[in-house]
Structure formats: structure tokens, C-alpha cells
């Protein structure tokens, strides 16, 4: 068994002793999904645990190999003398344990890249500057060139909203999805959502340009105690909204799989001549994936993702991307 100790200097200022954050990131990078405490943090001074205590904890957990990394920029006295002295004490106390001492951070091109990123982001204080820089980073880290050009802005905005690059390959589009969504927006058709959070997140300023509105199905549905047994408020709200007189161009489902299943059931039964675009990205462990798999097999226009992931940020990002595209290309 192997353990890693990340050694920071430590500071009298308590808030500055935050090497644990780096330790957590390192653990997730080295051992994704691991629930053990494989990466530990120690401080040379001013904070706890100290190096000796961290070594003892590693050995107590059964580690026969302890890797010590000095989280210091340069190999000064602490790196060349003080930390090695603590490791020597650990070797004497635990003679059967192998100790590996790594180099400090030192001179590395990765550090230069971090400095460049810090310089570029230093002036990005306004919201539009932060968003622009965020999209630049996404373009650098995700190659979207293999996607159809009309889908790239949508995928990019979803990644921006979630910081999850898996959406670069995870979003699934009906061939007519983007065209249908933009046409509906420009025609002034309304947007229907399953929950209030999705409704709130949609850009009303962009939508107002086309004289359209966005409504939440739940607000049109029954009260909590009035819903029939086995049906959710979101499902009932969507059902009621679709039955009434409406000019719905986009349906955005970001939370409730039952609402998405109700949309699919309704469209399969009624087979509307010009069905709206269905953005179906509910999140969760019960029926979320199943509802999206079913949506992906439909003939009417849709945008979805085939995983448990999703939620309000994804639904909002897709709709807002379509609103932006409609305004830019008009």
C-alpha cells in the first residue's frame, strides 16, 4: 500500500493553510473514484498536522511506501534540509517502510502556463470579459471541430455552464433540432419549462426581442395535494400546458423525467404536424437516463444527453445558446 504526503510551509495566518485543497485535487487526479485517504497533507511549521504525524498516519493505515512531495517553488533550506530531516526521523521510527522524496515544484513549463493564464485573467473583471475568457479556455481544451458548426455554440455554452467537458461528445441532436429551435424563436413562439428554476434562467431580454414568453408547467398545474397518486406536479403541469391553447416552440425539461415522458407520450399520441423542439436533459438516478434514451429515438426534434447528468444549468444553457444564435444570425 502506498501513501502520498504533500508538505506545505504553513503560515500563522490560518486561512493561508489550504494545501488540503491541492491535496484533494491531486488525489482525484491520481486515484479517480477512490474513497481512501491516499493523499495526505502536512505542514512544516505553524499548522497541523506536522510531517511526523502525517507519516505515522500513513503507516497506521498499512502503507509500506510513503511518497513525500515538498509543495515549494524552489529547493531552499526547507526543501534540502528541514523536510529531509523529518523524513529521516520517520525512517528510524518505521524501519520497514520505504520513503520516496520528490523534487520541489522548481522550474517547469507548466508553471509558466499558469502564470500566462493568471496574466490573461487579471483584466477579466467585468462579466463579459470573464465569459469571453471562459470560452477561450473551452476552445483551447476541447476540440469541437468535428461537430457540425450549428451545434458548436450550444455544446460550448453547456460546457461553460457545467465545467464538464464530457458534454463535448455527450449531447445528442435530432438533425432538425437547431433549425427548429431557432425558427421557433424567430417566429415568436413561447417556451415551456418543467420547473421554475429553468424558467428563471432563460434570458428574457433576448426572448423579448421576438415578442415571446416563457412559462413553467408547474405553475399551470395542480397544487401539491391535488396531483393524482403516482403523478408528479411537473408531469401534471406539462400535461395541462400541452392541452391548452398555446404557441409553444420549445419545451425545456431540466429536472423531471416524468415531465419528459409525458411530452413523449403526448406527441406520440397526437403526432403534431409541427412539433416544438424538446430539450430533454433531466438529471437523476430514477428514470432520468431512461427518459432521455426514449427521447433520442423519437422522430420529432430534440436535444438530449445519454447519461444521468443534466439538470437546470444544461437546459438553460441550451435554450440561451439558441436565443443567442437566433439574434446573431437574424
Kindly list the domain boundaries of the chain, sorted by start residue: 2-101, 147-329
- Count CA within 13 A, CB hemisphere, residue 131: 7
User: Angle between the 152-162 and 127-141 helix axes, to the nearest 10 degrees?
Assistant: 110
Residue 116 zone, left/alpha/beta (φ > 0; ψ -120 to 50; rest): alpha
Q: What is the pLDDT of residues 173-205, one digit of tens each?
A: 999 999 999 999 999 999 999 999 999 999 999
Fold classification of 147-329 (topology level): Rossmann fold (3.40.50)
Percent above pLDDT 90 for the chain: 68
What pLDDT score was predicted for residue 297?
94
Cα dist. 180→157, 249, 275 in Å? 19, 8, 9
Burial class (CB in 10 A: 0-12, 13-18, 19+), 315: buried
Out of 119-128, 266-275, 312-321, which region has the weakest mean confidence (pLDDT)? Answer: 119-128
Assess contact for 277 and 315: CB atoms under 8 A.
Answer: no
Instruction: Answer yes or no: is pLDDT of 224 > 50.
Output: no
- The hierarchical CATH code for the domain 2-101 is 3.40.50.1400
pLDDT surpassing 90 at residue 142: no
Average pLDDT over residues 230-250: 85
Residues designated as active site: 160
State the Cα–Cα distance between residues 94 and 65, nearest whole angstrom: 11
Residue with the three cell numbers 397526437: 270
Same fold yes or no, 2-101 and 147-329: yes
Amino acid at each position: 500500500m502506498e501513501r502520498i504526503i504533500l508538505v506545505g510551509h504553513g503560515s500563522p495566518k490560518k486561512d493561508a493553510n489550504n494545501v488540503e485543497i491541492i491535496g484533494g485535487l491531486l488525489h482525484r487526479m491520481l486515484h479517480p473514484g477512490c474513497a481512501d485517504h491516499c493523499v495526505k497533507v502536512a505542514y512544516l511549521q505553524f499548522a497541523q498536522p506536522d510531517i511526523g504525524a502525517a507519516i505515522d498516519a500513513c503507516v497506521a493505515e498499512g502503507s509500506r511506501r510513503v511518497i513525500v512531495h515538498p509543495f515549494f517553488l524552489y529547493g531552499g533550506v526547507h526543501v534540502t534540509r528541514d523536510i529531509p530531516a523529518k523524513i529521516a526521523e520517520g525512517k528510524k521510527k518505521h524501519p520497514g517502510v520505504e520513503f520516496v522524496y520528490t523534487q520541489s515544484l522548481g522550474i517547469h513549463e507548466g508553471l509558466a502556463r499558469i502564470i500566462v493564464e493568471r496574466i490573461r485573467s487579471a483584466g477579466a473583471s467585468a462579466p463579459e470579459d470573464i465569459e469571453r475568457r471562459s470560452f477561450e479556455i473551452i476552445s483551447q481544451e476541447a476540440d469541437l471541430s468535428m461537430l457540425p458548426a450549428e451545434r458548436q455554440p450550444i455544446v460550448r455554452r453547456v460546457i461553460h455552464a457545467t465545467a464538464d467537458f464530457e458534454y463535448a461528445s455527450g449531447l445528442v441532436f435530432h438533425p432538425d433540432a437547431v433549425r427548429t429551435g431557432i425558427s421557433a424563436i424567430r417566429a415568436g413562439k413561447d417556451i415551456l419549462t418543467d420547473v421554475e428554476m429553468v424558467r428563471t434562467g432563460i434570458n428574457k431580454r433576448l426572448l423579448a426581442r421576438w415578442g415571446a414568453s416563457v412559462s413553467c408547467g408547474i405553475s399551470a398545474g395542480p397544487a401539491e395535494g391535488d396531483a393524482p397518486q403516482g403523478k408528479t406536479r411537473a408531469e401534471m403541469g406539462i400535461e395541462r400546458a400541452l392541452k391548452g391553447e398555446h404557441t409553444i416552440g420549445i419545451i425545456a425539461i431540466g429536472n423531471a423525467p416524468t415531465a419528459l415522458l409525458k411530452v413523449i407520450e403526448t406527441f406520440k399520441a397526437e403526432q403534431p404536424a409541427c412539433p416544438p423542439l424538446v430539450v430533454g436533459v433531466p438529471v437523476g438516478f430514477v428514470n432520468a437516463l431512461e427518459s432521455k434514451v426514449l427521447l433520442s429515438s423519437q422522430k420529432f426534434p430534440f436535444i438530449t444527453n445519454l447519461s444521468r447528468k443534466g439538470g437546470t444549468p444544461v437546459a438553460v444553457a441550451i435554450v440561451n445558446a439558441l436565443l443567442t444564435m437566433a439574434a446573431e444570425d437574424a
